[in-house]
Structures are given as structure tokens and as C-alpha cells.
Structure 1
């Protein structure tokens, strides 16, 4: 006997995004009249640049509302080539670029196109919430590489070497990282590359979506540039969501070996087809247009980061390292966990009861703490950290 509401085995292996779930819960509480400050969502609070909005309006006025090539318009793929060369140092032709409906879709397609049941995927933890769920949906195994604040939340070559096995298919690297803000230097990547050379079966997904939001001096480092001989097995993912405050436009871009881009295109052709034509036109303007506003945004994020880190580290029982990039703090609350039965989800709900939405560390493969986003104005951040202090002291 069967039931009408039976879901697939693949879907049953995964859980809904807990960052989205906390954001939805905060929205519902606000709608019910509660005063909630949300530090759970990962998007800039700045307005989309005017030249980007103008390009979207112009595309609408020109009736640019039809299907495009599945891999994206040539104009956007050429603009993406410029972005990869200028901002990441990667030289690729348009034929090795694909445009998707957000960076998340690009990652989903890359993994689904290459993983078989029983394959292993190495993921540094704490990790972005969707990485392990996509791997599990594909029937592959998540192999966690646990990192620590003392180590800058970075994987060591020794860890990587010990974790690689005969079924290892991918290593996922996110720099700057969500949820920790951890950033790999060129020297870090060269050391990891020395390990990867000994294991030619391992592909690397380099998620560089936060590259424009780095607070350390020097150029952004990415594996395909630090170790150019490994580039034929590296997929680099980027986009406009974080750098240009365009989360709702849903545009991600990826560059990699031709065979992998073709495979991702095949899957995308049956999944969504092309990304929104209007959003693609806006993304062309984002990549080709002025980038000087990013200096101001970085400076403002840096000030917020330092403000939040100081406030959190002043609360008894809480501590956080200074993130090198992105706009998140991963906060350790281990001394306080006995009050919550060792359950960081209970801690997150306690803070929500006191008017602040955060995401439990366990949602990211961590423990005994929570993540906050400092992509909010100073007044909200001050009120939020004051509420956290009051709730926990």
C-alpha cells in the first residue's frame, strides 16, 4: 500500500535551510507585532546601485523579456569574464562560464552532475548550510573537516591529506567564508594545492561569492590562480548578490573546465533553463559598471564588524574572533551552554524570545554558539547586542 504524500528518498535525506527558517520565523513574529531585530539573514542592507537598477529598467523598456541561451546571454558571460579576470585573477573564455539563478544553483548543478551514491565530499566545518544538504541529496557522503577559531577556521594540509580517500570526489572551499568570515591566503592555498596534486581524482569547488568583501590587505587569493596547474579541476563560483546588494535578482556565475560547464548546462536546461533575462541585463551593468562604491561598503562593513566584535567579546560567556571577510561573526557560547542543556538551538530560541534572531552554530556543522550577520545599521546592531547581553547576563 502506498500513500499519496510519500516524498522521494532523496528529498528525505535533507532538511530545510535553517538560516531561511529562522529568517521566516522572525518575519512572522514581526508581522504578529513583536519587536524583532533579525541578524540571521545573509544579505547586504545597502541599496542596489542606481546604474544596476537603471539597466534592469532599460531591459524592461526594451522588452528584453524572452528566453536567453541556457548558459546566459553572451553579454553577461563576457562581463563575467571581465569580473573573473579583474576581481579574481582568473582568465577564462566565455565558453567556460555559466550563468545560473543564484550561486546556490550553480553549486547544486555542479555537484548533482558529478556525484554518485557513495562518493565522498570534503567540507570544512562550520560550513554554509546548503553544502551538506546538496551532497546528501545526491546520495554522496559528507566528510566534515572540523576547524577551530584558534586555527582561523581554516583547514590545514594535514587535515586534508588525512581525509582524502579512494571515493573522495570534491573538496569545497569558501573564502571568505560563511558563517565564519575565514579567508585563505595564497600561501594557505598553495599548501593545500601540494596535497591535492597527489590526489588527481579530487575536484575543488571554490566559492568566492564574498571575495569583494575582504578586510585584509592585498589581493584576493583563489585556488585556480594560486595553483594554476590545478585550474583544470577547479570550479570557481561567484555572483552579484553580496558584492552589489542584488540578492533578489538571483544571478550566480561559475567558471571551470569546459566538460563540467557543459554538464552543468545540460542539467540546467532541464531544471530552470536560463536565469531571468532582466536580472541578467542588470548583472551586465554590475560587472561592467563602476566598482568604486565597494570601497565605501567595505569600510562601512569593517566599522560594523569591529563594533560588533567588541560588543560580543564584552558579554560574559561569549567570544568571537575577528572575521577577515564577509559580514558574519561565528560566536562561541560554550561557557553558557549548560544553561541550555547543551542545545544551541535552545540558545537561539532564547535570544529570539528577547527580540534578536540569530542562527544556531549547529545549523552550520558547528556547536555551542550562534552566527550573527552585521549587515545592519549601527543603531540596529547596538540594540541587538544590548538585547543579547541582557538575555544572557
Structure 2
């Protein structure tokens, strides 16, 4: 039976192994924890091997297929023989497509030298941090957060400074809380809007207030993670911090990509835009790590960004419909609280009411990981624990799934919660205090 403890075991024992060879690992490997996603997937696979069908609401990728015009562009590139190395920062074609995208969607004019292409968002995050921070630096990271941020910060030797957002604020980072964390060592503030895993969007007024807080600290830069830009609900235009505070252009790096907007997760394409000196440094890191992005994926991404954008609107509408179904069904389950996501295909649900309760087989639910694993074992429904995103006490639901799957999964979740409530609790747990929250956040 998988428990919270397993999340923090190293994949191999640190130090010398029992072999005639010395495979001692670098001390920094202790920073990299087993992926919570992989652990949940393995637990789900164990359930499937017992003959039961698992309903997956844990997977963080679109359930749609890549549009045909994008596939065709990749096939054409192969037939043209565009299968050689490209420039390490991307082909002229994809850079021009990215430039046009910024002008069309964001009213931002970047030169080709201000842009670089990476093999996915995780590489973009890691390379940017590796190029800019080290021991003694601090990165302000609002929680919940996309988990690779935490490990990437640690691998550089910098210190992640976690900013706990609140459910009552819709998990939107508040300017006053950011201000309280800024020190002379602060180097980056990460802003992810729309947010994975909460679906929160930072509105214009809050972005302006954040800019006012950051502005007096010239060493503090902003990393604007816009990866879910196209998946927004309602008709409000997308804004990042540069749109509301143009003077932040010289201190902001924008991350975006094609994985989520165009259902291209496996194509591994993302891009960065920002101050030329910073982008040049990121390119130097890329030269030493990946050398050049995939040539075929670049051709496909150029078509995605330049071609018709109708599919992004259609699919965003589909996600909004699923969100509304999910909200209605969750509203019928007592003792779960949640906020209404304004974007992405994720939402966070508070399950702390069930801490301290026991399952029908006597299992004690002590935390969100226990809750998620119990949902898998008893109901064959896969969620992601919130502690994987620095938000213990919650679990993440992905509604990148069919309406039928959502309805069936919520029926099973309701049954699970009713059973736990009927069984009561021998040792009722209190909601996580700030000390316990911080301990679990650091381990995420």
C-alpha cells in the first residue's frame, strides 16, 4: 500500500552502492523527489491489473487530438527533408510565427533575438533558472505551483520561497503577501495565470498592484508563465503583467507554448520571450544541454501559431462546459469545498474534512495523499494529491476528460465521501496549520 512516506524516498540509496563499482551520486540528486504523477499512475496501474477500470482525472494534458493542419505541416517538413539540426534558439519560421502570435494576441512586439525555443516548458523553466540564479538567491513561488519549479530552483542552489495562496482568495497571489516575502536576495517572482493546478486567473487590478509591489526592487524579475493562455472561461481578454505595466517589459520573461492550446504535449515545444541579455544566457545553457530543438516539432508549432485559431476557441468552450458540469456535481457532495476555476482544465478541491476518518477497512485518512490513494483503491478514480503542487490538504481534478467520465467519477467520489462520513473518526484531524503546510510544501 502506497503512503505519503513513499513520495519522499529517493529512487536509489544515496552514497556508495553494494557493487564493485562506485556509483556515488551527486548530492544534488537528493533534491529530486520521485514524481507524484508517476506514483499515482503506478498505483492506478496496480488497480487496473486487478481487473478494474480506472477513471483518470489525474492526467494534465488535453484529451483532444492535435489538429490535422498541424500534423500535415509536420509531414510536409519530413517530406521536404527538414530533418537536420536547426539553430539552437529555433528556426526563422517558428520565430516569425511566435513574433506574429505576440503581436496578434498580446500586443507585444519582440524581435527574433528576444525569443528562444525550447523542448517543452520544463526545459524552459530549468534553463532560465540555471542561467540566472544560484546559492544565496531566492525565488518567490506562489503555491499551488507546477511542481518542476520547486526542483529546478533547488537544483540551481537557490532557495524557493513559498507563498501560500488562500482558497478564499481563489488561490490568487495577493500583493501584500508578495511584499512580505521580498528580500535583498529575491531574484524571481513566478506568476502562473491561468494556473496549473488551481485554474486561477490574476485579474488586471491585482496584476497592477503586484507590479507596484515589485517595482521598487530592481533586482527582482518576473517569470510570467502564460502556458494556459488560450484556455479561459468568459470573454475577458488575456493579460499578463507587461500588458498592465508596460515598464515591466525589461524585467519580465514570458513562457508559453503549444502543448495545451493545440493538444501537442508529446511534440515538446515551448518558447520564451524577454530581455535580450537574459534570452541570450538561456540560449547558452540550451547549447550545453539540448543543443537544438526538434526540427519537425518546430514546423508543426509554426503552423499551430500561424494557422487558424478556431480550434483553440472551440476546445476552450468544451472545457468550460465540462467545468460547469463538474461544479454542479461537486456541489452535491457534502464536506468538500472548492473554488470556481476561471481557466485551464484543472481545479483544486479541499478534502481536509476527511482527515482523521477511517475507511470501511479501517484505513486512516491522514492527508491528501491518503485520500487520493483511497479513492484509487476503493473507487478506481485517479486524482492528483495537492501536496504534489505545494498545496497539502487538497486534491487536483483534471477535467480534460469526457462528460461521461466526469459524471461517473463524481458519482464514485460522492460514494467515497459518504462512506467516510458514516464511519466517523477515532482521531479527528485538524486542518493543516502553517507549520505543517510549509513542511509538506517543501517536500513537494
TM bracket (short chain): over 0.9
When structure 1 is superposed on structure 2, of 328-337 and 19-28 the one drifting more is 19-28
The equivalent residue for 1:276 is: 294
1:81-230 → structure 2 map (5 Å cutoff): 81-230=99-248
Whether 1:350 and 2:365 are equivalent positions in the alignment is: no
Contact 1:87 1:212 in 2 (8 A): no
Q: Deviations over 1:8-65 (max 9, x none)?
A: 1112112133124323543464366431111111111111111000001111111211
The equivalent residue for 1:73 is: 91
The equivalent residue for 2:421 is: none
**1:90: how far off?**
2.1
User: Alpha carbon RMSD of aligned pairs, Å?
Assistant: 1.4
Q: Deviations over 1:71-103 (max 9, x none)?
A: 010100110111122223322111111100001
Whether 1:300 and 2:318 are equivalent positions in the alignment is: yes
1:31-42 → structure 2 map (5 Å cutoff): 33-42=51-60
Contact 1:10 1:138 in 2 (8 A): no
> Structure 1 CA distance, aligned partners of 2:106 and 2:45?
36
Query: Of the two, which has the highest radius of gyration?
Result: 2
> Structure 2 CA distance, aligned partners of 1:32 and 1:257?
53
Taking a change above 3 Å as real, the CA distance of residues 182 and 202 of structure 1, as seen in their structure-2 partners, is same
Contact 1:309 1:329 in 2 (8 A): no
> Structure 2 CA distance, aligned partners of 1:152 and 1:265?
36
1:236-275 → structure 2 map (5 Å cutoff): 236-275=254-293
The equivalent residue for 2:404 is: 379
Unaligned runs of 5+ in 2: 1-14, 358-363, 419-444
Taking a change above 3 Å as real, the CA distance of residues 2 and 376 of structure 1, as seen in their structure-2 partners, is closer
> Structure 2 CA distance, aligned partners of 1:309 and 1:23?
25
> Structure 1 CA distance, aligned partners of 2:71 and 2:365?
48
The equivalent residue for 1:23 is: 41
> Structure 2 CA distance, aligned partners of 1:251 and 1:307?
31
**1:126: how far off?**
1.1
Q: How many residues end up aligned between the 2 structures?
A: 393
Taking a change above 3 Å as real, the CA distance of residues 295 and 232 of structure 1, as seen in their structure-2 partners, is same
Whether 1:359 and 2:384 are equivalent positions in the alignment is: yes
**Which TM-score applies when normalising by structure 2?**
0.86
Unaligned runs of 5+ in 1: none
> Structure 1 CA distance, aligned partners of 2:228 and 2:209?
22
> Structure 2 CA distance, aligned partners of 1:88 and 1:338?
48
The equivalent residue for 2:70 is: 52
Contact 2:258 2:265 in 1 (8 A): yes
When structure 1 is superposed on structure 2, of 6-15 and 353-362 the one drifting more is 6-15
> Structure 2 CA distance, aligned partners of 1:348 and 1:249?
30
